[in-house]
Structure 1
Amino acid sequence: MKKCLVTVGTSSFDSLLKELDSLRIDSLDIYFQTGTSKYKPKNYQHSPFIDNFNDSLREYDLIISHAGAGSVYHMLECNYNIIVVPNTDRVDLHQLELAKFVESNNLALTCHDISEIKTKIEVALTHPKFDKYTKEEFFKFSEIINFLK
Protein backbone atom coordinates (compact mmCIF):
# COMPACT_ATOMS: atom_id res chain seq x y z
CA MET A 1 0.00 0.00 0.00
CA LYS A 2 1.29 3.47 -0.91
CA LYS A 3 1.46 6.23 1.67
CA CYS A 4 0.05 9.71 1.03
CA LEU A 5 0.45 12.87 3.09
CA VAL A 6 -2.00 15.73 2.80
CA THR A 7 -0.50 18.97 4.12
CA VAL A 8 -2.05 22.40 4.46
CA GLY A 9 0.93 24.04 6.18
CA THR A 10 0.26 26.34 9.11
CA SER A 11 -3.00 27.68 7.70
CA SER A 12 -6.37 26.04 7.08
CA PHE A 13 -7.83 24.46 3.97
CA ASP A 14 -11.10 22.87 5.04
CA SER A 15 -12.47 22.28 1.53
CA LEU A 16 -9.45 20.15 0.56
CA LEU A 17 -9.56 18.17 3.80
CA LYS A 18 -13.29 17.46 3.44
CA GLU A 19 -12.96 16.31 -0.17
CA LEU A 20 -10.03 14.00 0.55
CA ASP A 21 -11.63 12.64 3.72
CA SER A 22 -14.61 11.52 1.64
CA LEU A 23 -12.44 9.47 -0.75
CA ARG A 24 -11.78 5.76 -0.63
CA ILE A 25 -8.71 4.67 -2.54
CA ASP A 26 -7.85 1.11 -1.57
CA SER A 27 -4.20 1.34 -2.61
CA LEU A 28 -3.54 4.49 -0.57
CA ASP A 29 -2.96 5.06 3.14
CA ILE A 30 -3.65 8.79 3.72
CA TYR A 31 -2.44 10.89 6.64
CA PHE A 32 -3.57 14.50 7.15
CA GLN A 33 -1.56 17.42 8.52
CA THR A 34 -4.43 19.81 9.22
CA GLY A 35 -2.73 23.01 10.41
CA THR A 36 -5.31 25.41 11.85
CA SER A 37 -8.22 23.96 9.86
CA LYS A 38 -11.54 23.66 11.64
CA TYR A 39 -12.38 20.46 9.79
CA LYS A 40 -10.88 17.29 11.27
CA PRO A 41 -10.90 14.15 9.11
CA LYS A 42 -13.24 11.40 10.29
CA ASN A 43 -11.90 8.56 8.15
CA TYR A 44 -8.12 8.99 8.38
CA GLN A 45 -5.48 9.74 10.97
CA HIS A 46 -4.49 13.37 11.34
CA SER A 47 -2.65 15.92 13.45
CA PRO A 48 -2.39 19.71 13.30
CA PHE A 49 1.38 19.58 12.81
CA ILE A 50 4.10 16.97 12.33
CA ASP A 51 7.36 16.99 14.28
CA ASN A 52 10.42 16.94 12.00
CA PHE A 53 8.12 17.64 9.08
CA ASN A 54 10.81 17.85 6.37
CA ASP A 55 12.39 14.57 7.48
CA SER A 56 9.03 12.78 7.60
CA LEU A 57 8.26 13.66 3.97
CA ARG A 58 10.59 10.85 2.84
CA GLU A 59 8.10 8.31 4.22
CA TYR A 60 5.45 9.17 1.64
CA ASP A 61 4.99 8.04 -1.95
CA LEU A 62 2.70 10.98 -2.70
CA ILE A 63 2.22 14.38 -1.09
CA ILE A 64 -0.85 16.52 -1.67
CA SER A 65 0.06 20.05 -0.66
CA HIS A 66 -1.49 23.47 -0.51
CA ALA A 67 0.38 25.84 -2.84
CA GLY A 68 2.33 27.56 -0.09
CA ALA A 69 5.70 28.69 -1.46
CA GLY A 70 7.82 27.27 1.37
CA SER A 71 6.19 23.87 1.19
CA VAL A 72 6.10 23.56 -2.58
CA TYR A 73 9.64 24.75 -3.28
CA HIS A 74 11.10 22.46 -0.61
CA MET A 75 9.25 19.46 -2.04
CA LEU A 76 10.30 20.33 -5.59
CA GLU A 77 13.94 20.70 -4.52
CA CYS A 78 13.75 17.23 -2.93
CA ASN A 79 12.06 15.79 -6.04
CA TYR A 80 9.00 14.44 -4.19
CA ASN A 81 5.92 13.21 -6.04
CA ILE A 82 3.46 16.02 -5.29
CA ILE A 83 0.08 17.37 -6.26
CA VAL A 84 -0.15 21.12 -5.72
CA VAL A 85 -3.60 22.46 -4.80
CA PRO A 86 -4.01 26.24 -4.58
CA ASN A 87 -6.06 27.28 -1.57
CA THR A 88 -8.71 29.53 -3.07
CA ASP A 89 -10.45 29.69 0.32
CA ARG A 90 -7.86 32.31 1.25
CA VAL A 91 -8.54 36.02 0.76
CA ASP A 92 -5.29 36.52 -1.14
CA LEU A 93 -4.92 34.35 -4.21
CA HIS A 94 -1.12 34.16 -4.42
CA GLN A 95 -1.25 30.35 -4.32
CA LEU A 96 -2.89 30.37 -7.74
CA GLU A 97 0.20 32.01 -9.24
CA LEU A 98 2.53 29.40 -7.76
CA ALA A 99 0.29 26.55 -8.95
CA LYS A 100 0.28 28.03 -12.46
CA PHE A 101 4.10 28.29 -12.37
CA VAL A 102 4.42 24.64 -11.29
CA GLU A 103 1.99 23.52 -13.98
CA SER A 104 3.39 25.60 -16.84
CA ASN A 105 6.93 24.41 -16.09
CA ASN A 106 5.88 20.74 -15.83
CA LEU A 107 7.25 20.44 -12.28
CA ALA A 108 4.35 18.56 -10.66
CA LEU A 109 0.66 17.87 -10.97
CA THR A 110 -1.68 20.66 -10.01
CA CYS A 111 -5.34 20.48 -9.09
CA HIS A 112 -7.31 23.68 -9.59
CA ASP A 113 -10.69 22.01 -9.02
CA ILE A 114 -10.85 20.03 -5.77
CA SER A 115 -13.61 17.82 -7.16
CA GLU A 116 -10.99 16.41 -9.57
CA ILE A 117 -8.50 15.40 -6.84
CA LYS A 118 -9.22 11.65 -7.09
CA THR A 119 -8.35 11.68 -10.80
CA LYS A 120 -5.17 13.64 -10.06
CA ILE A 121 -4.19 11.07 -7.41
CA GLU A 122 -4.66 8.23 -9.88
CA VAL A 123 -2.45 10.03 -12.40
CA ALA A 124 0.20 10.79 -9.75
CA LEU A 125 0.37 7.14 -8.70
CA THR A 126 1.26 6.12 -12.25
CA HIS A 127 4.44 8.24 -11.87
CA PRO A 128 4.12 10.77 -14.66
CA LYS A 129 7.31 12.35 -15.91
CA PHE A 130 8.05 15.83 -14.65
CA ASP A 131 10.93 18.19 -15.24
CA LYS A 132 13.41 18.44 -12.39
CA TYR A 133 13.28 21.69 -10.47
CA THR A 134 16.62 23.33 -9.87
CA LYS A 135 16.87 26.05 -7.30
CA GLU A 136 18.32 29.26 -8.63
CA GLU A 137 20.65 30.86 -6.15
CA PHE A 138 20.04 34.47 -5.29
CA PHE A 139 22.90 36.13 -7.18
CA LYS A 140 22.56 39.71 -5.95
CA PHE A 141 23.53 39.02 -2.32
CA SER A 142 27.14 40.25 -2.54
CA GLU A 143 26.04 43.24 -4.63
CA ILE A 144 23.55 44.25 -1.93
CA ILE A 145 26.13 43.81 0.84
CA ASN A 146 28.63 45.97 -1.03
CA PHE A 147 25.97 48.62 -1.60
CA LEU A 148 25.12 48.70 2.11
CA LYS A 149 28.79 49.20 3.15
Structure 2
Amino acid sequence: MAESTVFVTVGTTKFDLLIKTLCQPEVLSLLEYMKYTRILMQIGKGEYIPKIEDKKIGITLEYYTLKKSIAADMQQASLVISHAGAGSIFESLNAKKQLLVVVNEMLMDNHQLELAQHLAKEGYLIYTTCEYLKETLAGIDFSNLKPYVPGNPKGITDYLDKQFGFK
Protein backbone atom coordinates (compact mmCIF):
# COMPACT_ATOMS: atom_id res chain seq x y z
CA MET A 1 0.00 0.00 0.00
CA ALA A 2 1.36 3.43 -0.95
CA GLU A 3 2.13 5.85 1.82
CA SER A 4 -0.34 8.71 2.12
CA THR A 5 1.21 11.64 3.98
CA VAL A 6 -0.23 14.63 5.80
CA PHE A 7 2.32 17.42 5.95
CA VAL A 8 1.75 19.93 8.75
CA THR A 9 3.54 23.28 8.82
CA VAL A 10 3.54 26.15 11.29
CA GLY A 11 6.21 28.07 9.39
CA THR A 12 8.82 29.76 11.57
CA THR A 13 6.26 30.55 14.25
CA LYS A 14 5.21 28.84 17.46
CA PHE A 15 1.76 27.22 17.15
CA ASP A 16 1.84 24.46 19.77
CA LEU A 17 -1.95 24.32 19.97
CA LEU A 18 -2.16 23.10 16.37
CA ILE A 19 0.44 20.40 16.97
CA LYS A 20 -1.22 19.31 20.23
CA THR A 21 -4.64 19.23 18.57
CA LEU A 22 -3.37 17.05 15.72
CA CYS A 23 -1.79 14.64 18.23
CA GLN A 24 -5.06 14.00 20.06
CA PRO A 25 -5.97 10.30 19.73
CA GLU A 26 -9.37 11.05 18.18
CA VAL A 27 -7.81 13.27 15.49
CA LEU A 28 -5.07 10.75 14.74
CA SER A 29 -7.67 7.96 14.55
CA LEU A 30 -9.73 10.05 12.16
CA LEU A 31 -6.72 10.66 9.91
CA GLU A 32 -5.97 6.94 9.97
CA TYR A 33 -9.63 6.23 9.07
CA MET A 34 -9.20 8.67 6.16
CA LYS A 35 -6.40 6.34 4.93
CA TYR A 36 -3.44 8.54 5.83
CA THR A 37 -0.45 6.48 6.95
CA ARG A 38 2.08 9.17 7.88
CA ILE A 39 2.06 12.62 9.43
CA LEU A 40 5.13 14.80 8.99
CA MET A 41 5.10 17.93 11.16
CA GLN A 42 7.26 21.00 10.81
CA ILE A 43 6.84 22.47 14.31
CA GLY A 44 8.83 25.68 13.91
CA LYS A 45 9.77 27.32 17.19
CA GLY A 46 7.21 25.32 19.14
CA GLU A 47 8.00 23.71 22.45
CA TYR A 48 5.52 20.84 22.31
CA ILE A 49 7.05 17.59 21.04
CA PRO A 50 4.54 15.59 18.97
CA LYS A 51 3.85 12.01 20.00
CA ILE A 52 1.29 9.28 19.58
CA GLU A 53 0.16 8.18 23.01
CA ASP A 54 -2.36 5.56 21.88
CA LYS A 55 -0.25 2.66 20.61
CA LYS A 56 -3.26 1.23 18.74
CA ILE A 57 -3.16 4.04 16.21
CA GLY A 58 -1.44 2.76 13.07
CA ILE A 59 -0.06 5.98 11.71
CA THR A 60 3.58 7.08 11.59
CA LEU A 61 4.37 10.45 13.17
CA GLU A 62 7.56 12.36 12.39
CA TYR A 63 8.60 15.94 13.08
CA TYR A 64 11.35 18.50 12.75
CA THR A 65 11.70 22.14 13.79
CA LEU A 66 13.01 24.14 10.85
CA LYS A 67 14.88 23.46 7.63
CA LYS A 68 15.98 25.55 4.70
CA SER A 69 13.13 24.43 2.45
CA ILE A 70 9.92 22.48 3.04
CA ALA A 71 9.18 22.20 -0.69
CA ALA A 72 10.10 18.50 -0.97
CA ASP A 73 8.02 17.60 2.10
CA MET A 74 5.09 19.52 0.68
CA GLN A 75 5.44 17.85 -2.74
CA GLN A 76 5.31 14.38 -1.19
CA ALA A 77 2.17 15.16 0.82
CA SER A 78 -1.37 14.15 -0.09
CA LEU A 79 -2.76 16.78 2.28
CA VAL A 80 -1.19 19.92 3.72
CA ILE A 81 -2.42 21.30 7.03
CA SER A 82 -0.93 24.74 7.48
CA HIS A 83 -1.02 27.70 9.78
CA ALA A 84 -2.49 30.78 8.10
CA GLY A 85 0.79 32.46 7.20
CA ALA A 86 0.82 33.85 3.66
CA GLY A 87 4.11 32.18 2.73
CA SER A 88 2.96 28.71 3.74
CA ILE A 89 -0.46 29.15 2.15
CA PHE A 90 0.85 30.29 -1.22
CA GLU A 91 3.63 27.68 -1.25
CA SER A 92 0.95 24.99 -0.74
CA LEU A 93 -1.37 26.45 -3.36
CA ASN A 94 1.46 26.77 -5.89
CA ALA A 95 2.34 23.11 -5.21
CA LYS A 96 -1.29 22.27 -6.09
CA LYS A 97 -1.94 20.51 -2.79
CA GLN A 98 -5.19 19.92 -0.97
CA LEU A 99 -4.94 22.56 1.72
CA LEU A 100 -6.56 22.88 5.12
CA VAL A 101 -5.56 26.10 6.86
CA VAL A 102 -5.81 26.33 10.63
CA VAL A 103 -6.05 29.90 11.90
CA ASN A 104 -4.22 30.77 15.11
CA GLU A 105 -6.86 32.66 17.07
CA MET A 106 -4.29 33.73 19.68
CA LEU A 107 -2.76 36.28 17.31
CA MET A 108 -3.64 39.91 17.80
CA ASP A 109 -4.81 41.92 14.78
CA ASN A 110 -5.42 38.67 12.93
CA HIS A 111 -4.76 39.44 9.26
CA GLN A 112 -4.17 35.71 8.79
CA LEU A 113 -7.87 35.06 9.41
CA GLU A 114 -8.75 37.62 6.73
CA LEU A 115 -6.40 35.95 4.23
CA ALA A 116 -7.79 32.47 4.97
CA GLN A 117 -11.39 33.70 4.70
CA HIS A 118 -10.71 35.47 1.41
CA LEU A 119 -8.96 32.48 -0.19
CA ALA A 120 -11.68 30.13 1.06
CA LYS A 121 -14.35 32.41 -0.39
CA GLU A 122 -12.47 32.33 -3.71
CA GLY A 123 -12.57 28.52 -3.55
CA TYR A 124 -8.85 27.75 -3.14
CA LEU A 125 -8.72 26.25 0.35
CA ILE A 126 -10.65 25.21 3.43
CA TYR A 127 -9.95 26.83 6.77
CA THR A 128 -10.80 26.16 10.39
CA THR A 129 -9.54 26.71 13.93
CA CYS A 130 -8.00 24.24 16.38
CA GLU A 131 -11.33 24.08 18.20
CA TYR A 132 -13.11 22.78 15.09
CA LEU A 133 -10.26 20.87 13.43
CA LYS A 134 -11.65 17.38 14.12
CA GLU A 135 -15.13 18.30 12.88
CA THR A 136 -13.71 19.99 9.79
CA LEU A 137 -11.58 16.96 8.94
CA ALA A 138 -14.55 14.63 9.44
CA GLY A 139 -16.62 16.50 6.87
CA ILE A 140 -13.90 17.74 4.55
CA ASP A 141 -14.55 17.70 0.82
CA PHE A 142 -11.88 19.12 -1.46
CA SER A 143 -13.79 18.33 -4.66
CA ASN A 144 -15.26 21.82 -4.98
CA LEU A 145 -11.93 23.62 -4.64
CA LYS A 146 -10.40 25.13 -7.73
CA PRO A 147 -6.72 25.15 -8.64
CA TYR A 148 -4.85 28.28 -7.68
CA VAL A 149 -3.39 30.19 -10.61
CA PRO A 150 -0.83 32.78 -9.56
CA GLY A 151 -1.67 36.27 -10.75
CA ASN A 152 0.11 38.09 -13.50
CA PRO A 153 2.27 40.78 -11.86
CA LYS A 154 2.29 42.89 -15.05
CA GLY A 155 -0.79 44.87 -14.00
CA ILE A 156 0.69 45.95 -10.68
CA THR A 157 4.11 46.71 -12.18
CA ASP A 158 2.50 48.83 -14.91
CA TYR A 159 0.52 50.68 -12.24
CA LEU A 160 3.61 51.31 -10.10
CA ASP A 161 5.67 52.39 -13.13
CA LYS A 162 2.96 54.93 -13.96
CA GLN A 163 2.73 56.17 -10.34
CA PHE A 164 6.48 56.66 -10.10
CA GLY A 165 6.76 58.26 -13.53
CA PHE A 166 8.65 55.47 -15.26
CA LYS A 167 6.02 55.30 -18.03
TM-score band (shorter)? 0.7 to 0.9
Quote how far apart the aligned CAs of 1:134 are. 1.7
Equivalent of 1:83 in 100, 104, 112: 100
Equivalent of 1:67 in 67, 70, 84: 84
What TM-score results when the alignment is normalised by the length of structure 1?
0.85
Query: Aligned residue for 1:45?
Result: 62
What TM-score results when the alignment is normalised by the length of structure 2?
0.77
Structure 1 unmatched runs, 5+:
none
Aligned-residue RMSD, C-alpha: 2.0
Quote how far apart the aligned CAs of 1:115 are. 2.9
Query: Aligned residue for 2:143?
Result: 128
Query: Does structure 2 retain, via aligned residues, the 8 Å contact 1:8–1:35?
Result: yes
Counterpart residue identity of residue 152, structure 2:
E
Aligned length: 147
User: Kindly tell me: are residues 62 and 123 of structure 1, through their superposed partners in 2, closer, same or farther at Cα, counting changes over 3 Å?
Assistant: farther
Aligned-residue identity in percent: 27
Quote how far apart the aligned CAs of 1:66 are. 0.4
Quote how far apart the aligned CAs of 1:97 are. 0.3
Structure 2 unmatched runs, 5+:
53-60
User: Kindly tell me: are residues 83 and 58 of structure 1, through their superposed partners in 2, closer, same or farther at Cα, counting changes over 3 Å?
Assistant: same
Equivalent of 1:3 in 5, 8, 11: 5
Query: Does structure 2 retain, via aligned residues, the 8 Å contact 1:33–1:47?
Result: yes
Give, in whole Å, the separation in 1 of the partners of 2:76 and 2:127.
21
